[in-house]
């Protein structure tokens, strides 16, 4: 890769694996996260710790962020000691699933400082991050996308450019809309199989080979049957994504009743203290 130094902000369930792949591709990787102890495994691999996003940005050709919420994105880039307070030129890439409007604001603020900004949310969950097989959806200037394609290729397999600033986030919202309705279908199907006295695992093995087959059924469906609620993707983050999708759909005059219902059920689980569970925990709604 021509990019030598990458600053990575956010080393959670997915970010940690993504940073490892960038280092394996030959980049020097610096990291910043709110809790240093959670990044210790990466520091043990030789990655360098920075105390603020600004310090990280000053030493990096590219800054990549993978955090939780739009407010986090705004803080690390535009806040006091944020990336834009120190970075001069180069690239910033927000891979958080965030607001398209915020992506457009960040693009404009970066452009004023001669920085190329891309919004590049991902899909594939924890397994996609571990296996460097993420789908990466990119918005911003196409020239910047071309420059950073080798960086994306270190983390993902399906990498597509969709247009100007915010287009990556709009594409990710389309992805989340499809997942939301699909998750209800997977949970309802497996709950139904169990209630009818069927061997649900065998049902899954059978129907996943036909028209009902999907990534969610084959992967998260199995987690549902094992009672494995560990988060590949947190319920609280999924609710955030659904809220953003519904807001942008309303602005476009589009009604999404399936998404509305999915958010309603996930909101109920969060209210019951399950916001830090994986999205597959939705089956608990049906098996009470």
Query: Based on C-alpha coordinates, what's the Rg of the chain?
Result: 20
Question: What does the alpha-carbon distance between residue 92 and residue 84 come to, in Å, rounded to a whole number?
Answer: 9
Question: What does the alpha-carbon distance between residue 181 and residue 186 come to, in Å, rounded to a whole number?
Answer: 9
Residues 93/120, Cβ–Cβ less than 8 Å: yes
Phi, psi of 65, deg, nearest 5? -120, 145
Catalytically annotated residue among 87, 172, 240, 263 = 172
Report H helices in 208-256. Answer: 215, 221-226, 235-251
From start to end of 179-221, where are the E strands?
none
Spell out the residues 6+ positions from residue 279 whose beta carbon is closer than 8 angstroms to its own.
179, 183, 220, 231, 232, 233, 234, 235, 238, 266
Give the length of the chain.
Answer: 288
CA angle, 26 then 30 then 33, to 5°: 135
- 172 included as an active-site residue: yes
Residues with catalytic function: 172
């Amino acid at each position: 890769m021509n990019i030598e130094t990458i600053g990575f902000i956010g080393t959670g369930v997915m970010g940690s694996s993504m940073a490892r792949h960038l280092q394996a591709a030959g980049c020097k990787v610096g990291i910043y996260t709110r809790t240093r102890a959670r990044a210790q495994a990466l520091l043990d691999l030789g990655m360098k710790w920075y105390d603020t996003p600004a310090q990280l940005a000053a030493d990096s050709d590219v800054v990549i962020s993978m955090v939780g919420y739009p407010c986090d994105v705004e803080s690390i880039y535009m806040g006091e000691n944020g990336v834009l307070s120190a970075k001069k030129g180069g690239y910033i890439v927000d891979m958080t699933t965030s607001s398209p409007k915020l992506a457009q604001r960040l693009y404009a603020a970066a452009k004023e400082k001669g920085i190329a900004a891309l919004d590049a949310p991902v899909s594939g969950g924890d397994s996609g991050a571990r296996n460097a097989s993420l789908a990466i959806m990119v918005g911003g200037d196409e020239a910047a996308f071309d420059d950073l394609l080798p960086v994306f290729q270190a983390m993902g397999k399906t990498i597509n450019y969709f247009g100007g600033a915010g287009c990556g986030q709009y594409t990710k919202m389309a992805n989340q809309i499809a997942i939301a309705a699909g998750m209800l279908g997977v949970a309802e199907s497996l709950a139904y199989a169990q209630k009818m006295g069927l061997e649900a695992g065998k049902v899954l093995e059978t129907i996943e080979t036909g028209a009902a087959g999907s990534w969610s059924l084959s992967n998260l469906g199995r987690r549902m049957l094992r009672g494995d609620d560990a988060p590949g993707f947190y319920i609280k983050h999924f609710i955030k994504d659904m809220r953003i999708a519904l807001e942008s759909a309303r602005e476009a005059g589009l009604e999404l009743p399936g998404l509305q219902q999915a958010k309603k059920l996930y909101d109920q689980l969060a209210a019951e203290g399950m916001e830090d569970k994986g999205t597959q925990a939705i089956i608990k709604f049906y098996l009470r």
